Amino acid sequence: MSILGYLQKIGRALMVPVATLPAAAILMGVGYWIDPVGWGGSNALAAFFIQSGSAIIDNMGVLFAVGVAYGMSKDKDGAAALAGFVGFLVLTTLCSPAAVAMIQKIPADQVPAAFGKIKNQFVGILVGIIAAELYNRFSSVELPKALSFFSGRRLVPILTSFVMIVVAFIMMFIWPVVFSGLVGFGEHIQKLGSIGAGVYAFFNRLLIPVGLHHALNSVFWFDVAGINDIPNFLGGAQSIEAGKAVVGVTGRYQAGFFPIMMFGLPGAALAIYHCARPENKAKVLGIMMAGAFAAFFTGITEPLEFSFMFVAPVLYVIHAVLTGISVFIAASMQWIAGFGFSAGLVDMVLSSRNPLATHWWMLIPQGLVFFVIYYAIFRFTITKFNLLTPGRELAVAGDEADGKDVNVSANTEQDVSGLARQYIAAIGGSANLTGIDACITRLRLTVKDSSLVNESMAKRLGASGVIRLNKTGVQIIVGFVAEKIADAMRSAGDVPAAGQAAPNAAPAATVKPQAVPNATTIAELVSPVTGELFSLDQVPDEAFASKAVGDGVAVKPTESVVVSPAAGTIVKIFNTNHAFCLETEKGAEIVVHMGIDTVALGGQGFTRLVEEGAEVAAGQPILEMDLAYLNANARSMISPVVVSNIDDFSGLVVKAQGHVVAGQTPLYDIKGK
């Protein structure tokens, strides 16, 4: 992965802990609304809300460690989050002033001040990255039999705690230097005063296209360089009393965003609508109205920004400059309001009675002025230079798919599963897609060749913009449904590129036998159905492909009878008859799941031949399928055959390859511990 790609991965992970800030903002905002004078001292309910929000703000360091570890883990597993928590506790305890004094044998008053600030977001991010990397590398490690309980995911928190001892030793020498550098950087920016705030805001917008603005925000919004603007502002009276916040100063790196997000960008949206071609205005109106409302109400601006960011980059540079000017003006005039999520109406209302909010209402007339400025500049620039903003582009041959526009408007209920498959087709099909992730409003995809991405098709599907970061990195701006589309893309199965016919059949996998040394065979499984063998990673379902359900293989059936893969008891047959669970004499729990998402067929296509609780022999028929119906209606008929309690055994040895026959071909052996 490139450095840029890795930094983007960190930026995505940072959104996990940052997502807790709205909770703190709401709790503390409500508390200040109830008791704006006593700040909880005159009202028990207000104190309840303020202290509840403080619990989040005061522990942002550990939240960053947990959130980053979880967000950067390969399969978003809780063990990675636990490793981040354990690592943060070990590192911050060993680097606490008392521990440093004891370990280095120096008086407590000579311990560098940096160690008094060890529980910060910067250290949390560092710990989270290390914990995630350890999880990604060692979560599949198998220890010797005597220590097998601590294998796999259980190993990671233990390993993290030992690694953090080494990291703590290193930090004792380099943290004072790093801390001094960060503080110096923060102090340099602070000395620039309002100008520094404007410079920060300018670069904040410029970094949006590559997703690296999160890293810059951490310097000014959190306790990386001693500024800590958001937590100090949300702390209100407590921050003032603790000497962390200054009225009229704290919040200056936030306040000027309100006029831009609530008013300026909606003005730009209106200009884009007025400049659209007459035949496209109805379509552009819906897109611009949705984006403007999101920006005004919540402060989410990406749907609007990406609508002109790449088709008219000069407008985006103008937008960045105007944002810097707005933040500079608000900071200079000490018109201050803060936010816990973004600079929208919700956060403005919640922060309005915060003790640190000063002349916040002046941001509204400032915003109205910026509405006019944005509208005038955008409309003049678009028409003067004939910029192809949304609605001004001419129809291009080949822009229709199957003779019609496939754009999904904001007013239409979206079929997310179908939309996901269309986006996969637009980026060159499943064969070109190697990685799927999502941020709040964008799909972050890794592909083999970004030149294969059909940008016009993606925009017809509703995307605001397509970013080709490099040959393998692509981002598609899809709005608030990004997470849902990403989840659907992960389980969409094999999708051909736009304009290609779907393959008649997926290639059969060659599953190599797995060696499990010094283990006895406790069960021998035969294939439950006749067909072609696949490895689990080819199953178009994340739960099976990631082995979260269990370990095993899969078979794509070519005949209709499903038999028991081993002798045992049928402990469960699902109501829709698409799957059953078998327990062998030695306690192995086998799940045979015919097809993917076949539960949605409501039992049609399946006939049950035995009942739950039945004792069955290997090869005894369990189900009968209508393959013609299932192949026509099921998302996929690749059928996993897995051991759901594989952790109770040493593993399995796959014995089959290629074509298998129901009740005859040995599938795999389960090895005991």
| Residues belonging to the active site | 439
| Angle of the 194-206 helix axis to the 313-333 helix axis, nearest 10 | 150
The strand pairing partners of 446, in sequence order, are: 435, 473
* CB < 8 Å & 24+ apart, contacts of 653-657: 653/513, 653/514, 653/515, 653/516, 654/511, 654/512, 654/513, 654/514, 654/553, 655/513, 656/511, 656/527, 656/533, 656/553, 657/510, 657/511, 657/533
Closest CA to 574 of 557, 559, 591: 591
Sign of CA dihedral 431, 437, 442, 448: negative
Asked whether 648 and 671 are in contact (CB, 8 A), the reply is no
Closest CA to 312 of 210, 373, 393, 398: 393
Asked whether 89 and 58 are in contact (CB, 8 A), the reply is no
User: Parallel, antiparallel, or unpaired for β 473-477 and 465-468?
Assistant: antiparallel
* CA-based max dimension of the chain: 83
User: Parallel, antiparallel, or unpaired for β 639-643 and 589-593?
Assistant: antiparallel
Q: How far apart are CA 91 and CA 168, in angstroms?
A: 5
Which residues, 6+ apart, have CB-to-CB distance to 193 below 8 Å?
331, 332
| Angle of the 194-206 helix axis to the 213-221 helix axis, nearest 10 | 160
Q: How far apart are CA 153 and CA 482, in angstroms?
A: 29
Q: Tell me, what DSSP letter sits at residue 234?
A: H
